[in-house]
Structure 1
Amino acid sequence: MSSDATPGPVAFGQRVQILRNRRGMSRPVLAGLVGMSVSWLKQVETGKIQTPKLSIILRFAEALRVRDLSELTGQESMPVDLFIGPGHARLPAVAAVINAFPLSATSRQAPPAAHLRARLARAWSARHSSPDHREVIGALLPDLIRDAQLVVRQAEGAAERRAAQAALAEVYSLSQFFLAYQPDSALLWRVAERGMVAAQESEDPHAIGVAAWLLANAHRDGGPPHLDAADAVTRETLSYLEPLLPDAIDDVRAIAGALQFEAGYTAARRGDTGVAWWHWDKARKIARKLRGDYYHPITSFSQAIMGAHAVTVAVELRAGGESVRQAAAADAMTIPSRPRRARHRIEEARGYQLDGQADTALAMLDRAHEAAPETIRYNGYARRIVLEETESKSPERRRRASELAVKIGILAA
């Protein structure tokens, strides 16, 4: 018998098992995430059940956070990006600045700290108001990163250096919003860690809270193996912030509220209903102590966002009816940030699809596209729903989904 026989193609079930083990997931966890029984999943992995229909493949893709469907199907004709979206045109320029470590002396004078702060404020404002927010902040980031690093290097005295580190941490925070769902996860982690280091060096409670919130986000989106790390970050940061809250400014209170919700979000992803809603309620109590018109410039935490947060908790708990009830109670138009409003519409779409209301789900995705096309273009949940509905039995739904798929770049025109 020849020893150099060409191995056969890797079956769908084998690919699922390999990816599941690589993500550190147990079979019961993955079965729960795709809404099937453990015995059914075992039969898939062992080849007793062949490749399932597209809607189930997409559930696997969501649970396993695969880059594109060909990782699951083995068909190179299906290179559909899902949870890591297409690389933005400005990604190489941003990556080049992040990866650079200028050590030699420079004759260039760092901009005044107040000037850097004003540019940062304008960048956040542009992010919240622009439908093409990635394009806008991607254009601003290279110079912002270079200048913030230079301000730190040229700072004189401990107080000035701490303030410069807080500004640098915020620039890294802005960078993470650009890098999310880009095809370079290592770059995202690099920035998250640098942001946390800069925030700690600043000794500024708000900077530390924001960096921790983003680091917890990164851990949570890393999948089940990283949920404990997300909890550790939020728990430790809340322990640090809570004694400061009685005399804190609104920004510090808001970041504590955002971290409380983050803990609830992680609990919901675990399927822990009681803990998820307990943290949501604690976050709501913090929000009620803020001014009615207050809106955190980075996390969007506010009284206005709590309805959207309730939808997210219900959706992550896979509670379709509750998701729809919370969506009906929430008012998306009170969310001033266009990308955050689009994200809320996507969460509503997830809820309506869970509840079997696919037409309404597509309508919510249309509204998400109206609010901020770049948000839906890079959101894996939205891409999954659209792609799934292109296979709908309803001709009208297939048409609507296909038109949306072209708009967000899943299908060619």
Structure 2
Amino acid sequence: MPSDATPDPYADPLAFGQRMQILRTRRGLTRDQLGGLVGRTGDWVKKVETGRQQAPRLEDALQIAEALRVRDLSELTGHPGHLPLFTGPGHARLPAVKAAVDALPFTVTGEAPPGEHLAARLARAWSARHQAPNHREIIGTLLPELIRDAQLSVRQADTAADRRAAHAALAEVYSLSQFFIAYQPDAALLWRVAERGLIAAQESEDPHALGVAAWLAAQAHRDSGPAHFDAADAVNLGTLRHLEPLLPDASHEVTAIIGALTFEAGYTAARRKETGVAWRYWDKANEIAKRLPADYYHPVTSFSRAIMGAHAVTVAVELHAGGESVRQAAAADAFTIQSRPRRARHRIEEARGYQLDGQPDVALATLEKAHEAAPETIRYNGYAKMIILEETEAKSPARRQRAAELAVKLGILAA
């Protein structure tokens, strides 16, 4: 290795701080930028890196790993063992949701509500998920009772048909739970819910419930890092093989979940930098979207004709194609996306594209639109935080000020 090359943090046993410095340098972050991402100062980062500060606690290590886009905690600690690291700030409602999930079903008491009543509550919860700017707060409030009542419905079902319907509702509750738990600091809870959702969906024998559960499980695998891409494909493509024969006569809901799963396969391919495969799956998903009415919008995945433009931006960004990302962003109309958090996520993907294309001012303006659409979405998004903190050290005073103001809104810099 040349003497001026960046050392390999895995070649020899290194201290936590040394690994952190190497990985930070590879990401192109200053100490102040990394400190801002994890709620610390640049001086604190320097002390950890130089060994004057002891290695941080696990909670802080997880935040550092997320900021550095490290997929495996052993890259920082040097110890074997994988942890999914897409974590964000723990929501105040998380302990109550966790308690409801952790409660043994046979200890849950009470009378199950009528199936129609539970379905109506779920519909209202999904509406809040897509329309409320503080959707995590609302969903976190609703979930504990929804989990309890859905479990009671399964236990108290009188007939096989009622039991299958109850399992479908329970699978839907677990799907809603995953939207709340994702990117929060409890990976084990997320996996517990994902697995229970898949089991409940299989027990329901409902193709739509199974498709939604598999869609979420595939995302959980993919977001755990490259070592889990094969597992994401196994869940995703296996479910597609099961559902695709239903497509000619499928309902809008089943058609949409098949389309959503098809795009997810392309998303994973884009993460692998498999350009041709990624765009082929996008094309296939786009053809499925054309089967749906122009105004149809899937209540869970947001799959629709309108979403395909946003999906194209995502593929281009994951392929690190800045010019193509901007071209796709110009072609996509974010205002046709009905879901506020999905619209915010699209704006974040657009911002990533503009940043890749060397247009940081447009990237910041786009992130401001994401914040307007759904503040809780951007607050949990590591890519958005990375762009903002990078621009707080821009040469342009106006851009630094704009980025700092947005960082304060997100709570990643003090006012």
Task: Name the TM tier (shorter chain).
Answer: 0.7 to 0.9
Judge conservation of contact 1:15–1:72 (CA < 8 Å) in 2: no
State the Cα distance separating 1:72 from its structure 2 match: 8.7
Q: What is the 5 A alignment of 1:49-64?
A: 52=25, 55-56=28-29
Aligned residue in 2 for 1:404:
406
State the Cα distance separating 1:222 from its structure 2 match: 0.4
Residue 382 in structure 1 maps to residue 355 in structure 2: no
Judge conservation of contact 1:324–1:355 (CA < 8 Å) in 2: yes
SS of aligned partner of 2:28: helix
Select the residue among 232, 235, 238 that pairs with 1:236. Answer: 238
Once the two structures are overlaid, the 10-residue window that deviates more, 76-85 or 392-401, is 76-85
Distance 2:282 2:39 in 1: 33
Aligned residue in 2 for 1:4:
none
Which blocks of at least 5 consecutive residues in structure 2 are unaligned?
A: 1-5, 68-85
TM-score, L = length of structure 1? 0.84
Aligned residue in 1 for 2:278:
276
State the Cα distance separating 1:56 from its structure 2 match: 4.4
Distance 1:148 1:194 in 2: 12
AA matched with 1:230? A
Select the residue among 207, 210, 213 that pairs with 1:211. Answer: 213
Residue 264 in structure 1 maps to residue 266 in structure 2: yes
Q: How far does the alpha carbon of each residue in 1:5-47 deviate from its partner, in whole angstroms, 9 at most, with x for none?
A: xxxxxxx96767799xxxxxxxxxxxxxxxxxxxxxxxx9799
Taking only the aligned residue pairs, the percentage that are identical comes to 69
How many residues of Structure 1 are paired with residues of Structure 2 in the alignment? 373
Judge conservation of contact 1:67–1:84 (CA < 8 Å) in 2: no
Q: What is the 5 A alignment of 1:165-244?
A: 165-244=167-246
State the Cα distance separating 1:390 from its structure 2 match: 1.2
Judge conservation of contact 1:166–1:204 (CA < 8 Å) in 2: yes
State the Cα distance separating 1:85 from its structure 2 match: 0.9
Give the CA RMSD over aligned residues: 2.9
Judge conservation of contact 1:169–1:199 (CA < 8 Å) in 2: yes
Identify if the C-alpha distance between structure 1 residues 144 and 354 changes in structure 2 by more than 3 Å, giving closer, same or farther: same
Identify if the C-alpha distance between structure 1 residues 13 and 56 changes in structure 2 by more than 3 Å, giving closer, same or farther: farther
Distance 1:54 1:256 in 2: 37
Identify if the C-alpha distance between structure 1 residues 50 and 335 changes in structure 2 by more than 3 Å, giving closer, same or farther: closer
Judge conservation of contact 1:319–1:354 (CA < 8 Å) in 2: yes
Select the residue among 93, 104, 112 that pairs with 1:90. Answer: 93
Aligned residue in 1 for 2:311:
309
Q: What is the 5 A alignment of 1:298-377?
A: 298-377=300-379
Identify if the C-alpha distance between structure 1 residues 291 and 153 changes in structure 2 by more than 3 Å, giving closer, same or farther: same
Distance 1:377 1:195 in 2: 26
State the Cα distance separating 1:392 from its structure 2 match: 1.3
Q: How far does the alpha carbon of each residue in 1:275-328 deviate from its partner, in whole angstroms, 9 at most, with x for none?
A: 000000000000001000000000000000000000000000000000000000
State the Cα distance separating 1:102 from its structure 2 match: 3.9
Aligned residue in 2 for 1:39:
none
Distance 2:112 2:152 in 1: 6
Judge conservation of contact 1:216–1:231 (CA < 8 Å) in 2: yes
Judge conservation of contact 2:393–2:400 (CA < 8 Å) in 1: yes
Once the two structures are overlaid, the 10-residue window that deviates more, 363-372 or 79-88, is 79-88
Distance 1:245 1:167 in 2: 23
Distance 2:403 2:10 in 1: 27
Which blocks of at least 5 consecutive residues in structure 1 are unaligned?
A: 1-11, 20-43
Distance 1:353 1:105 in 2: 50
TM-score, L = length of structure 2? 0.84
SS of aligned partner of 1:349: helix
SS of aligned partner of 1:87: coil
Select the residue among 101, 111, 119 that pairs with 2:104. Answer: 101
Distance 1:291 1:18 in 2: 58
Distance 1:128 1:172 in 2: 17
Distance 1:317 1:393 in 2: 28
